[in-house]
Chain A
């Protein structure tokens, strides 16, 4: 598999009330073509900010202060590419180098598309849903008239909206929340992008609808060979849809690996804490494992490991120097001094063993069933 997007040492700052907020502090991330990558984090982790950089929707008071976002997905189209940001050898486009909105026009929509969180506000209430999908076809694939109509119907069927010819003429307010989200997905698919970014698309939906939408996204990813970047704070959703998981804390990716590695063999204390505090792993009558305190204030300089003040198992060096990435396997690495050979070996919390056992049980059961 080849890389389609490569983030290198990305730093993003916001100017807020006269002070600087250092929202992303040197993010490194490679996204493989055709994979489903989940970025997990809580509020203040920087996951939405990172996301917005991929599509040029950073807030006005924010800017990239260092680093690159290399987009390799244009392939042959690079030969005719006239815009900003291309490197000397013509292999990639650096999205972080874009200064004007016009620079983004060739990327946004046709290469990288985003599904935002709230389907209520992301659809135009004054136009029918069919019109909105056809508009995307017209803008990004140059289709007109009958061809656009037929393609719209086909896409509506793909997103499993029943009776598409009747629904074509309906307005967003006539549809339920789940259907509206499907329409939003349809508009994104219509653009035929390489990368689909989903910014918490199921947070506002009921759990039954959420499950259906996730299933749909998995189907569409296979059918259209998309690369999906999925932003969420819900670990259950991550388990459902991701091939790889990146865990973010205080503006940096602190652990990244295959989804099985993250769930069954996490190494960073924050990932431990995050997984352990899930109610699914608690015993009624006992206390849930809870992380003390709140995430750090990114107006101030962070020295050392950002998670150290909240980590009861922090090492002395954690408050002095930020840890580098330590490799656990070719696909799994984490930024924690605990992985240094000089560090004491600590056992992860009890609850995590339960996750691993559940996983083994399911795998075993599935294999038995198949055998």
Chain B
């Protein structure tokens, strides 16, 4: 689309101008025109909208868009799947005609992904596992964000707290997260809430530090100094001035902490402190499948959960990064 006129259009415009000029008459043409102050004010206002430009920039990233759609489809499906016809309960053991459990069956028309070593339907287990892992991941991300943002903003903005919280951070950061995870899982009974709790209490620190650094960058900008001179309370500045600026960076960080939490869950299960076997999760599935890795015809029990884990994890990373690029005003061309 170019503003350089098509020569035919330009000729047309010129002839219209000519016609107008003939009509108006030379004397009037060269007389003073009426002047409107409002007309002068109207020219030149920008229609830039931050979020509109962000989404437009994100849409251009077609890989991320595709993965976003895929991820949403997976998310929806994990919740819809149990209600579809012909689905097995993930914990139910199917028995064959001989009355014995159908162990280690490869994929067929009934069991779409086959069965595991106890006779449970793998398809149902994979989707149940994905559902639980996603619940863990998203819950952890939300809790981390809630605590981390609150602490981070206070840490960055209130100068008196800076020293105290920095020291606290230095101590907490040096405690290996693995040890905390092991300790918490050991002390409390294994379960979904335990693991969510364990992952959250180690994760909020990183978010707090990140938010604090962002706040330090913007806290002395003129608009915040202005708010202080107007007598705005610290709470008001934190919620109306700082938080809106941090939304995009916080969303990025959350997008990356979800796969992190899911991965941590896999790891904990691996070392035996994860969810109990009755609660299906990708960690459990991968753990079980790992034991069968060596036999080629049973390998599928490892491969299917790994595929889903990879898709979910990689999607979150790519979407998160694409969103962060799109949210940068310099890319809003």
Complex: A in contact with B (CB within 8 Å): yes
A151 within 8 A of B: no
Q: Which of B21, B24, B29, B44 is the one whose CB lies under 8 Å from A296?
A: B44
B45 within 8 A of A: yes
Contacts of A296 in B (CB 8 A): 43-44
* Residues from 19 to 40 in B contacting A, C-beta threshold 8 Å: 20-21, 24, 26, 28-33, 35, 37, 39-40
- Please determine whether B29 and A20 come into contact, CB atoms closer than 8 angstroms: no
Interface segment, one of A125-133, A338-346, A356-364 = A338-346
The interface size of chain A toward B, counting residues with CB under 8 Å, comes to 39
- Please determine whether A320 and B37 come into contact, CB atoms closer than 8 angstroms: no
- Please determine whether A297 and B43 come into contact, CB atoms closer than 8 angstroms: yes
Residue of B nearest to A63 (CB): B2
A294 to B40 Cα, complex, angstroms: 7
Contacts of B193 in A (CB 8 A): none
Most buried by A among B31, B32, B45: B32
A44 within 8 A of B: yes
A292 within 8 A of B: yes
- Please determine whether A297 and B45 come into contact, CB atoms closer than 8 angstroms: yes
Residue of A nearest to B53 (CB): A17
Residue of B nearest to A11 (CB): B4
Residue of A nearest to B26 (CB): A342
Q: Which of B2, B28, B45, B332 is the one whose CB lies under 8 Å from A17?
A: B332
A291 to chain B, nearest CB (A): 8
B56 within 8 A of A: yes
A229 to B53 Cα, complex, angstroms: 36
A15 within 8 A of B: yes
A25 to chain B, nearest CB (A): 9
A38 to B333 Cα, complex, angstroms: 30
- Please determine whether A315 and B43 come into contact, CB atoms closer than 8 angstroms: no
Q: Which of A66, A293, A297, A321 is the one whose CB lies under 8 Å from B37?
A: A293
- Please determine whether B35 and A61 come into contact, CB atoms closer than 8 angstroms: no
Q: Which of B41, B48, B332 is the one whose CB lies under 8 Å from A293?
A: B41
Q: Which of B2, B21, B33 is the one whose CB lies under 8 Å from A20?
A: B2
B17 within 8 A of A: yes
B1 within 8 A of A: yes
* Residues from 47 to 64 in B contacting A, C-beta threshold 8 Å: 48, 53, 56
Residue of B nearest to A65 (CB): B4
- Please determine whether B31 and A316 come into contact, CB atoms closer than 8 angstroms: yes
Contacts of B1 in A (CB 8 A): 20
- A292-B40, A297-B45, A316-B30 known; A20+B35 contact, CB < 8 A: no
- Please determine whether B3 and A315 come into contact, CB atoms closer than 8 angstroms: no
Residue of A nearest to B13 (CB): A303
- A15-B333, A297-B45 known; A65+B2 contact, CB < 8 A: yes
Contacts of B41 in A (CB 8 A): 292-294
How many A-B residue contacts, CB cutoff 8 Å?
Answer: 91
Contacts of B333 in A (CB 8 A): 15-17, 60-61
- Please determine whether B30 and A343 come into contact, CB atoms closer than 8 angstroms: yes
- Please determine whether B44 and A297 come into contact, CB atoms closer than 8 angstroms: yes
A20 to B5 Cα, complex, angstroms: 13
A182 within 8 A of B: no
Residue of B nearest to A304 (CB): B17
- Please determine whether A316 and B33 come into contact, CB atoms closer than 8 angstroms: yes
- Please determine whether A315 and B20 come into contact, CB atoms closer than 8 angstroms: no
Residue of B nearest to A319 (CB): B33
A294 to B43 Cα, complex, angstroms: 6
Q: Which of B17, B21, B35 is the one whose CB lies under 8 Å from A311?
A: B35
- Please determine whether B44 and A317 come into contact, CB atoms closer than 8 angstroms: no
A297 to B44 Cα, complex, angstroms: 4
* Residues from 286 to 333 in A contacting B, C-beta threshold 8 Å: 292-297, 301, 308-321
Contacts of A315 in B (CB 8 A): 29-33
B298 to chain A, nearest CB (A): 54
- Please determine whether A295 and B44 come into contact, CB atoms closer than 8 angstroms: yes
Contacts of A314 in B (CB 8 A): 32-33, 35
- Please determine whether A317 and B3 come into contact, CB atoms closer than 8 angstroms: no
Residue of A nearest to B56 (CB): A17
Residue of A nearest to B24 (CB): A316
B6 to chain A, nearest CB (A): 13
A71 within 8 A of B: no
- 1/0 contact string of A63-87 vs chain B (CB within 8 Å): 0011000000000000000000000
Residue of A nearest to B31 (CB): A316
Contacts of B17 in A (CB 8 A): 320-321
- Please determine whether A309 and B40 come into contact, CB atoms closer than 8 angstroms: yes
Contacts of A293 in B (CB 8 A): 37, 39-44
A309 to B32 Cα, complex, angstroms: 12
Contacts of A15 in B (CB 8 A): 333
A13 within 8 A of B: yes
A194 within 8 A of B: no
Contacts of B332 in A (CB 8 A): 17
- Please determine whether B33 and A308 come into contact, CB atoms closer than 8 angstroms: yes
Most buried by B among A66, A319, A320, A342: A320
- A22-B3, A292-B37, A293-B37 known; A344+B44 contact, CB < 8 A: no
Residue of B nearest to A15 (CB): B333
- Please determine whether A320 and B32 come into contact, CB atoms closer than 8 angstroms: no
Most buried by A among B33, B40, B53: B33
A11 to B28 Cα, complex, angstroms: 32
A60 to B17 Cα, complex, angstroms: 36
A66 to B42 Cα, complex, angstroms: 30
Most buried by B among A16, A65, A319, A321: A321
A337 within 8 A of B: yes
A80 to B291 Cα, complex, angstroms: 73
Cross-chain pairs A/B with CB under 8 angstroms, 10 sampled? A17-B56, A20-B1, A65-B3, A292-B40, A294-B44, A295-B44, A315-B29, A316-B29, A316-B31, A343-B30
Q: A11-B4, A295-B44, A314-B32 are in contact. List 9 more A-B contacts (CB 8 A).
A: A17-B333, A65-B3, A292-B41, A293-B43, A294-B40, A296-B44, A314-B35, A316-B33, A320-B21
7 shortest interchain CB distances as A-B pairs: A293-B40, A292-B40, A294-B44, A317-B29, A22-B3, A312-B35, A316-B33
Residues on B facing A (Cβ under 8 Å):
1-4, 17, 20-21, 24, 26, 28-33, 35, 37, 39-45, 48, 53, 56, 332-333
